[in-house]
Structure 1
């Protein structure tokens, strides 16, 4: 099974993540940030990834370090679980409607991290959560996960719907890309024979 655990400790945060790529979408965790937990549970369920997250951090200052470091640690666990990325489909995409909102996520598990983020919010906060931190989470996750990741909100009005559709789109696209392709289960999906490095 493609399972990985990562512990990351800094002076600002202590994060522990266990991730099973071939799970059933079970989420167990807490970051101390309710909205982030809600998004991670949605991610887990729609990606069919079993995910355990334990995070403590300096949220008495603000949520920035805990949000970013959770993304970093989840990306590290993803990369570890993927291993040499042999047999995966590599590419995935999803278009997610949510009421008045529609968002598109496309990704390549290329081991060449890059984020395109075309998502705008009309509010600075959702509850106590700074909406600018969503980009920080996606950036951190793509960087350490080795993901070329494009996130585009096509349209929408409700800020909760906008970001939730982005997380669900990430989940569905990742589920597609990380699946083992039965027609090429022993091959790395690259003409170079390895994923990562230069094009």
Structure 2
């Protein structure tokens, strides 16, 4: 059975289309107008082995906030749709990913309950590239979690370069999400004593 999700979201600030296939091969076709964010979504697809299409038109003449936020909301909703009732998945995953001097630790529970714990080094450069506000990293994950309904813990104990700190988070997130959403051949039920996630 196909595990795909497709979400269209339109507001006065943005127009977003997201399509995801959880059982893909890592093919990304991404365009948000925010170069570094596109690079991070490419990381999500490649290291998560998700096929991902993202088309966002946003009010970039103001700033990149609405574009990144609404894309993350649609992305989370697409993942939730693709997961269905969540039966047969592994549910939990814990991954550490280094990127040169930076280390990201990500733990995920595809629980049906949205919760984010996020910590990264203070004093990062405020902008990566032309228009990626580094304070948006946490908000991107908050937005995803709210719609995907997963518990996500991200911790970066150290790192110096802002690009590396953010990219390590997305790579670790991709790997953890891939492992947690993978089908476990020994599990044919919803992995919860409650019987529902």
Q: Which residue of 2 aligns with 1:188?
A: 190
Q: CA RMSD in A?
A: 0.7
Q: Give the C-alpha shift of residue 120 in structure 1.
A: 3.0
Long gaps (5+) in structure 2:
none
Alignment of 1:109-128 (within 5 A): 109-121=110-122, 122-127=124-129, 128=131
Alignment of 1:13-24 (within 5 A): 13-24=14-25
Q: Give the C-alpha shift of residue 171 in structure 1.
A: 0.2
User: CA–CA distance in 2 between the matches of 1:147 and 1:59?
Assistant: 29
Q: Which residue of 1 aligns with 2:63?
A: 62
Alignment of 1:44-123 (within 5 A): 44-121=45-122, 122-123=124-125
- The equivalent position to 1:165 in structure 2, one of 153, 156, 168, is 168
Give TM-score scaled by structure 2 length: 0.97
Q: Give the C-alpha shift of residue 15 in structure 1.
A: 0.3
User: CA–CA distance in 2 between the matches of 1:129 and 1:103?
Assistant: 19
SS at match of 2:29: strand
User: CA–CA distance in 2 between the matches of 1:54 and 1:120?
Assistant: 31
- The equivalent position to 1:147 in structure 2, one of 133, 145, 150, is 150
Does structure 1 retain, via aligned residues, the 8 Å contact 2:118–2:155?
A: yes
Aligned length: 194
Give TM-score scaled by structure 1 length: 0.96
